[in-house]
Structure 1
Amino acid sequence: MTNTNHRVVQWATGNIGLKALRGIIEHPSMTLAGVHVYDPNKVGRDAGELCGLDTVGVAATGKLEDVLTSGADCVLYMPRVFDLDDVCRLLESGANVVATCGVFHHPPSMDPAVRDRVEAACRAGGTSVHSTGSSPGFISEAVPLVLTSIQRRLDKIIIDEYADLSRRNSPEMLFDLMGFGRDLAPFEQFRADYLGASFGPSLRLIADAVGLPLDEVVASGELATTPRELTIAAGTQKAGSVAGQRITITGLRGGRELITFRATWYTTTDLDATWDLGDTGWHIDIQGDAPLDVTLRMPISLEQMAETTPAYTANRAVNLVEAVCAAPPGIRSVLELPLSTPTFS
């Protein structure tokens, strides 16, 4: 693949979007074609200013029409909420799309009506669309596929994700959205189902790739409490309140667990549960005729997590722009793209 200068639009400027925006501006073979924002206070501001760089002469817009007429080769699509109409308009206009939402990880398991509409938009614009990120994406697809490449028999894959949230100063996220600090109650299944919808497509993708398609994907969750009062960055938790949660998504084949993704998030290691609590990062266990036990740690302090972790998602999206632009029209999974190789200046 030859490096070509691509005109790229950054869509949305949250923590991950701002990291991606900076990546586009600093990339040696990309030109920033535009920035789409949702906050009215950001409209009209220079893109460089938004992400802490010098001005670059590109003003942020809140209008889809401005993006459609920007001449973009690719849009890095990173909103909080996926909008099918917007994505199809972008694809029809001739702009490829790299998204950090999990809609496109496994095309065969997508809602057929959504898949057909997106495929039609890709044909109309001669474009492709791809979902990526760190989790799901890097850890649930790219890494397991590499590790299975030295197997001739695969018995099981277990992917563990760990997150110590004790220094995350985000009360709304931890207490309101995730439910930490509440009294113990039955696990709310919708939380497991939400994560299952995000990671299930990746598990199916791996299984399809190795010739062992899954029969079903199931999701479940567990809660754990702490026996003591806690003071964490987000606030105070009383003794006996929820301080750990573990959600397990399992892909079954022939009634047997073949691929499992398990997310364990906690605000203290002092829990009334016998869970393995790894450092923030991932662990992958490959069981087969060439077994592997792999740990990927984030070697940064908990205080640095909030400012550093956006790179794990944003950078992979930036690095895949060239491959997605070169791909045939349609929804493209990681199996249909070359290895994501970064280009440095």
Structure 2
Amino acid sequence: MKHRVVQWATGNIGTRALRGVIEHPALDLAGVYVHTPGKAGTDAGELCGLAPIGVAATHDIDAILALGADCVLYMPRALDVGEVCRLLEAGANVVTTRGEFHHPASVPPEVRERVEAACERGGTSIHSTGSSPGFISEAVPLTLASIQRRLDRLTISEFADLSRRDSPGLLFDVMGFGKPPAAFDEGRLSHGRVSFGPSLRLVAEALSMPLDSLEADGEVATARGGVRIAAGELEAGTVAAQRITVSGIRGGKAVLRFRAVWYCTADLDPEWDVRATGWHIAVDGDAPLDIDMRFPVPIERMAAVSPGYTANRAVNAVPAVCAAPPGIRTTVDLPHILAALG
């Protein structure tokens, strides 16, 4: 049986997911919701670089609800709880790359209650996933822990070279690159805690090692000289790299850690362990592991390739989420996500 799927939003991630649905052997594209009215009426194939397929995008939520789709791939820039509840109540399961539903107990109680009630009324489920958080912060550590009988610490380090990212607003205004070190926004720590803390709690509870608390800390490195990147100019002495660590504490020790290292130049102090874009996982236990997962893509092509790391897992999760019992469903609740590639 093919699942009928709606793609909600067509940004970088949504566009890649849309293409994934169209090309998937077990999914049928039922519709596309776009936030930009000017995109309404455009054929879905044309929105993602394919030939027309006869499905036009719409800016009308009621039209989407009327489709009776099995699942909605919900990928907007911001969560609208009202939208999500309308979809769930209408009988559409939701797979989202929004990070709010990785760990039900971390969801604000009023939001959790509202969403779970919508799931019950519609007989539907909702699941948050993606590459990070998601694949690397949940699926991978749970798999690595399956060969342990004692886990002392598991650390995930994410490295991202942003030197060719042509997004001045994101890098300079949001992330704080190019600013004096003293201007480092403590809100960045809150972002890390909110983004990756739920995954750490989920993994810890799945391993019967519930956390006592979460801690976050951050530090920056400055440019040694002027640096020209795709987004603009970094002056000497301004922030050129940042490292944010979220730690899951149990018994006074950090047993799970997620560390994000984002940088615009590798010309930093030697103590900064800057690696190529990708992930490094270190497992300290009775079956220790040291794993590198690099993205073997030239930096010039990274912007074109990287959306697939997030979008593809969401597309592949559709059948499992559609088959799940009603409610907020996590990586622990669902079976291993399998990709139908034939």
Aligned counterpart, 2:64: 67
CA shift digits 1:188-223 (9 cap, x unpaired):
211110121010000000100110000111112111
Query: Aligned equivalents of 1:137 and 1:67: distance in 2?
Result: 27
Q: Residues 101-120 of structure 1: matches in 2 within 5 Å?
A: 101-120=98-117
Query: Aligned equivalents of 2:187 and 2:175: distance in 1?
Result: 12
- Displacement of 1:186 in angstroms is 4.7
- Displacement of 1:234 in angstroms is 1.5
Alignment match of 1:26 (pick from 20, 23, 27): 23
The answer to whether the aligner puts 1:136 opposite 2:133 as a matched pair is yes
The answer to whether the aligner puts 1:196 opposite 2:193 as a matched pair is yes
Aligned counterpart, 1:92: 89
Query: Aligned equivalents of 1:133 and 1:140: distance in 2?
Result: 10
TM-score (normalizing by structure 2): 0.98
Query: Aligned equivalents of 1:85 and 1:216: distance in 2?
Result: 31
Query: Aligned equivalents of 1:97 and 1:24: distance in 2?
Result: 14
Aligned counterpart, 1:184: 181
Aligned counterpart, 1:338: 335
Q: Identity rate of aligned residues, in percent?
A: 62
CA shift digits 1:65-124 (9 cap, x unpaired):
111111100000000000000000000000000010111111122211111111110010
Aligned counterpart, 2:203: 206
Aligned counterpart, 1:232: 229
The answer to whether the aligner puts 1:263 opposite 2:260 as a matched pair is yes
Q: Residues 144-293 of structure 1: matches in 2 within 5 Å?
A: 144-272=141-269, 274-293=271-290
Alignment match of 2:119 (pick from 114, 119, 122): 122
Range with greater deviation from structure 2 (225-234 or 177-186): 177-186
Is the contact between residue 226 and residue 272 of structure 1 (CA under 8 Å) also seen in structure 2? Answer: no
Q: Which amino acid aligns with 2:185?
A: E
Query: Aligned equivalents of 2:138 and 2:230: distance in 1?
Result: 32
Q: Which amino acid aligns with 1:69?
A: A
Instruction: Tell me the SS of whatever aligns to 2:182.
Output: coil
> Please, which runs of 5 or more residues in structure 1 have no aligned partner?
none
Q: Which amino acid aligns with 1:228?
A: G
Is the contact between residue 176 and residue 185 of structure 2 (CA under 8 Å) also seen in structure 1? Answer: no
- Displacement of 1:158 in angstroms is 0.6
Is the contact between residue 266 and residue 274 of structure 2 (CA under 8 Å) also seen in structure 1? Answer: yes
Is the contact between residue 168 and residue 303 of structure 1 (CA under 8 Å) also seen in structure 2? Answer: no
Is the contact between residue 189 and residue 220 of structure 1 (CA under 8 Å) also seen in structure 2? Answer: no
Is the contact between residue 133 and residue 313 of structure 1 (CA under 8 Å) also seen in structure 2? Answer: yes
Aligned counterpart, 1:301: 298
Instruction: Tell me the SS of whatever aligns to 1:287.
Output: strand
Instruction: Tell me the SS of whatever aligns to 1:236.
Output: strand
Is the contact between residue 158 and residue 279 of structure 2 (CA under 8 Å) also seen in structure 1? Answer: yes
Aligned residue pair count: 342
RMSD between aligned residues = 1.0
Query: Aligned equivalents of 1:186 and 1:178: distance in 2?
Result: 11
Query: Aligned equivalents of 1:158 and 1:142: distance in 2?
Result: 14
The answer to whether the aligner puts 1:314 opposite 2:311 as a matched pair is yes
CA shift digits 1:123-155 (9 cap, x unpaired):
100000000000000000000000000000010
Query: Aligned equivalents of 1:187 and 1:171: distance in 2?
Result: 17
Is the contact between residue 176 and residue 184 of structure 2 (CA under 8 Å) also seen in structure 1? Answer: no
Range with greater deviation from structure 2 (286-295 or 106-115): 106-115
- Displacement of 1:180 in angstroms is 0.9
The answer to whether the aligner puts 1:48 opposite 2:34 as a matched pair is no
Is the contact between residue 164 and residue 299 of structure 2 (CA under 8 Å) also seen in structure 1? Answer: yes
> Please, which runs of 5 or more residues in structure 2 have no aligned partner?
none
Is the contact between residue 223 and residue 236 of structure 2 (CA under 8 Å) also seen in structure 1? Answer: yes
